[in-house]
Structure 1
Amino acid sequence: MSPHLYHLRRLMTLGCLAAALVLSAAAAAPQVIKTQHHDLRIVEIATGLEHPWSLAFLPDGSMLVTERPGRLRIVRDGRLEPQAVAGLPPIVARGQGGLLDVALHPRFAENGLVYLSYVGPGPGGMGTEVARGRLVANRLEDVQVIFRLEPKTDATRHFGSRLVFDRAGYLFITLGDRGEMERAQRSGDHAGSVIRLHDDGRVPADNPFVGRQGWKPEKYTLGNRNMQGAALHPQTGELWTHEHGPQGGDEVNVIRAGVNYGWPVITYGVNYVTGTKIGEGTHKEGMAQPLHTWVPSIAPSGMAFYTGDKFPRWRGDLFVGALKDQMLVRLSLDGEKVVSEERLLKNTLGRIRDVRQGPDGYLYLLTDEDDGVLVRLEPADGGQDKK
């Protein structure tokens, strides 16, 4: 080979290597996502999660993540601990059921109490339960079941299961209708309602149905289909939820004592497959109208109000994960009115199961996949307002 040809080939090889390095660096660099108000970067925190469902932030900066098959995991120093937390109660992982939400007691720093919602076995089949235990190292101790849905059945869907403590320390539990729609209107049935309890499971004396014959005293509402998002409004302190409609008719509601939210008597959705009407229409006296609806359905799950300083133009907005359309929805609010909607990250991450604001002011998302991920959304624009 001539010296000239040798040097030419060497230059070509070096050029190809340089190009490959540039492409590799570009692939490794976080993608910038354009939105109306802020440009974002998606930062991967943990992978290899099996259908993660919920997230809670510990005071030391670690995170608790639930996996629907029945494992509670710890993410510490940006790394998923290999061993799951021990000491969990018996869990049934079937259909949409398994280990679901996780929440910390408002005084967790003092008492170490962690609350879990999950599907537990019992007479008649299975149903949503809530247990609490003290987190000691990598184990839950002194575990107590403080709530069991009654009656239990063999149905494998619509468990609801979000847990939220309000400012007075009451625990709210959202429940689905278990796929048996008529249960949401039954007074003696927990299904299709919001439950309100003291932190130890006792029933508050001022619950709306306490002392009424035939009513479950734990019930705070009725007429809800399947609530998989719940959060306290940062100004009013009221509980907001969203729920899955059938074919269309997903709802956002403000939860108030004793209110009937209508399902299945009124709904903006229709029957699957046939598209026929459900119930009596969209309105009925004595039944609440939703604050916002989605038709067609987005299959909402997870919900958080943004109050941080990383994304200043999002402050006060409501964020909702979506399973069906694999996206994050931002709702801009004026009091209890939705004034605009922006759809973010569509088909970028997968099915978004949970949305949380971290103590650092970033947004965190979980994807409901066989190989689910925990990601953090950070401003690519330095948190500056886009003009």
Structure 2
Amino acid sequence: MKQRLLSVLGCSLALLSCSRDKDEATPEPSTAPPVETAAPNTTYQPAFAGQTRAGSVTTAASSYRSTVVTSSLTSPWGITSLPDGRLLVTEKAGQLRIVTAAGAVSAPITGLPAVNAAGQGGLLGVCLDPDFATNRLVYWSFSEARPGGNLTAIGKGRLATDERTIEGATVIYRAEPAYAGTLHYGGRVVFDRTGNLLVSTGERSDLATRPQAQVVSSALGKIIRITKDGQPAPGNPTFTQAGARPELYSIGHRNPQGLAIQPTTGDLWQSEHGPRGGDELNHIRAGANYGWPTITYGIEYSGQPIGGAIQQSSGLEQPVYYWDPVVSPSGMAFYTGNRVTEWQNNLFIGSLSGMHLLRLVIDNNRVLGEERLLASEGQRFRDVTQGTDGALYTITDQGRLYRLDRP
């Protein structure tokens, strides 16, 4: 018992998400002022305490340091760690590169299908096959020109032994219908614990396509769950409406640019761009409807309310957390390393318009504290991953790769 009490006392606010026995004390939210000080765009009231503007938390300056590994990337969008400690990075215009821990950037890896890089499109998220060490398979998301417009597509191929090309590249999934626009592709890809691929798709932004986030015969504005060959994954939820696609995992999303698996539970978490205000962090459940455009905490860019939208509705999921004004959350990752112990199991999210790397302390599916890292760097943080060395690596639209590690 004495040992257990000491464990509880040692679990400080920075370790709010550490593992605890069920009879140990529940951690409390931060009581410090929130990091957001700007006025919100709306007077909407949150559905529960702590849903927005959580109290701030602070990492001791002596606990970590940040280093610019390279500034030689061009609009990087996705990043993942290779087993040997190097990093695989996508660039929006269509290049795939390998970056070493020392900052050496490879020539573009050839063999990928063409991307449509107009607007928000291009070569987007990337992840490795769970069996990459033996099969060398890579999966990526990209915007593809198709009859009728563009769509979010998922590619698959083998990284050649000489690492100069992707062999046998093929498109295994297309989020139809195509649309003649260049916005809101979503574009993140991650594997779940069952070895199936989770994909985020946007609703393509325009008023004409926005309602498709609620239409189950459309793959727009959804989380998709497919096999390694692009087929609907076994165990997917059943949506009962006519024409429901069997690959759907959740619906009602706007522009989800972040996906991550919680390391201790295996649960799926997602970050999503709202309109003007109303950026969201969601805990994704199979078969759930996350509401867009029926519910939102944001408004139109013009300043007008979203037509017909409300903030709460029976049967529609509330975000675990939302930001107003926006921070434009993008790629994200849970930290499981031991290089900075106070970050254990915390969630890190790249912030574009907010120009910082977000750290969220989460316990029992609630945000208990928020911190903004690297805010003085003036960068749009696009994605973040944990390296095999236990450090965090984050990329920016301006071409930088940062490493966050112990001093």
TM-score by length of 1: 0.86
Residue 282 of structure 1, CA deviation: 0.5
Confirm or deny that 1:157 pairs with 2:180: no
Q: Which residue of 2 aligns with 1:45?
A: 69
Give the C-alpha shift of residue 144 in structure 1. 1.7
Asked whether the 8 Å contact 1:209–1:217 carries over to 2, the reply is yes
Q: 1:35 Cα shift?
A: 4.4
Write the distance in 1 (CA, Å) between the matches of 2:101 and 2:332: 25
Cα shift at 1:236: 0.9
1:55 CA displacement: 0.9
Equivalent pair of 1:321/1:352 in contact (CA under 8 Å): yes
Does the aligned pair in 2 maintain the 1:47–1:373 contact within 8 Å? yes
Distance apart, 1:278 and its partner CA? 4.2
| Bigger Rg, structure 1 or 2 | 1
- Aligned-residue Cα RMSD (Å) equals 1.6
Q: Which runs of 5+ in 1 are unaligned?
A: 1-33, 381-387
Match of 2:197 among 163, 171, 174: 171
> What amino acid is aligned across from residue 100 of structure 1 in structure 2?
L
CA distance in 1, matches of 2:373, 2:132: 33
2:394 maps to which residue? 365
Q: Once the 2 structures are TM-superposed, how far is the Cα of residue 184 of structure 1 from its aligned partner?
A: 0.5
Residue type of the alignment partner of 2:114:
P
| Matching residue of 1:268 | 297
Letter in 1 for 2:118: R
Equivalents in 2 of 1:267, 1:107: separation in Å?
39
| In structure 1, distance between residues paired with 2:340 and 2:229 | 37
Partner of 1:103: 127
Specify whether residues 111 and 86 from structure 1 end up closer, same or farther in structure 2 by C-alpha distance, changes over 3 A only: same
Match of 1:356 among 379, 385, 388: 385
Measured in 1, the distance between the counterparts of 2:101 and 2:397 equals 23
1:210/1:80 CA distance change after superposition, 3 Å:
farther
Partner of 1:376: 403
Equivalent in the alignment of 1:91 = 115
What letter is aligned with 1:366?
I
Instruction: Provide the rounded CA distance (Å) in 1 between the counterparts of 2:285 and 2:176.
Output: 22
Counterpart residue number, 2:259: 230
1:13-52 to 2 correspondences below 5 Å? 35-39=58-62, 40-52=64-76
CA distance in 1, matches of 2:198, 2:368: 27
Change (3 A) 1:205 1:305: closer
CA distance in structure 2 between the partners assigned to 1:147 and 1:333 by the alignment = 33
How far is 1:47 from its partner? 1.8
How far is the alpha carbon of 1:260 from its aligned partner? 0.5
Equivalence for 1:124: 148
| Greater relative CO (CA pairs within 8 A, separation 6+) | 2
CA–CA separation in structure 1 for the residues paired with 2:259 and 2:334 = 10
**Distance apart, 1:186 and its partner CA:** 1.0
CA contact (8 A) 1:223 1:262 kept: yes
List per-residue Cα deviations over 1:342-372 (Å, max 9, x = no partner).
Answer: 1122141400001111111111110012xx1
Distance across 2 between alignment mates of 1:210 and 1:132: 27
CA separation of 1:107/1:349 partners in 2, compared to 1, >3 Å: closer, same or farther?
farther
Partner amino acid for 2:271?
H
Contact 2:81 2:385 in 1 (8 A): no
User: What is aligned with 1:191?
Assistant: 220
Structure 2 SS opposite 1:49: coil
| Structure 2 alignment gaps of length 5 or more | 1-56
SS of structure 2 residue aligned to 1:220 = strand
Q: Any idea what the Cα deviations from partners look like across 1:113-146, whole Å, max 9, x if unmatched? A: 0001001111111111001000012110011211
The one-letter amino acid of 1:102's match is: V
> Partner of 1:298 in structure 2?
327
Count residues in correspondence: 345
Aligned to 1:377, what secondary structure does the other structure show? strand
In the TM superposition, residue 210 of structure 1 has moved relative to its aligned partner by: 6.9
C-alpha distance in structure 1 between counterparts of 2:84 and 2:386, whole Å: 16
Tell me the residue number matched to 2:375. 346
Q: Is the 8 A contact 1:35 1:344 kept in 2?
A: no
1-structure distance, mates of 2:385, 2:337: 11
1:21 matched residue in structure 2: none
Question: Match for 2:366 among 328, 337, 346?
Answer: 337
Q: Is the 8 A contact 1:228 1:301 kept in 2?
A: yes
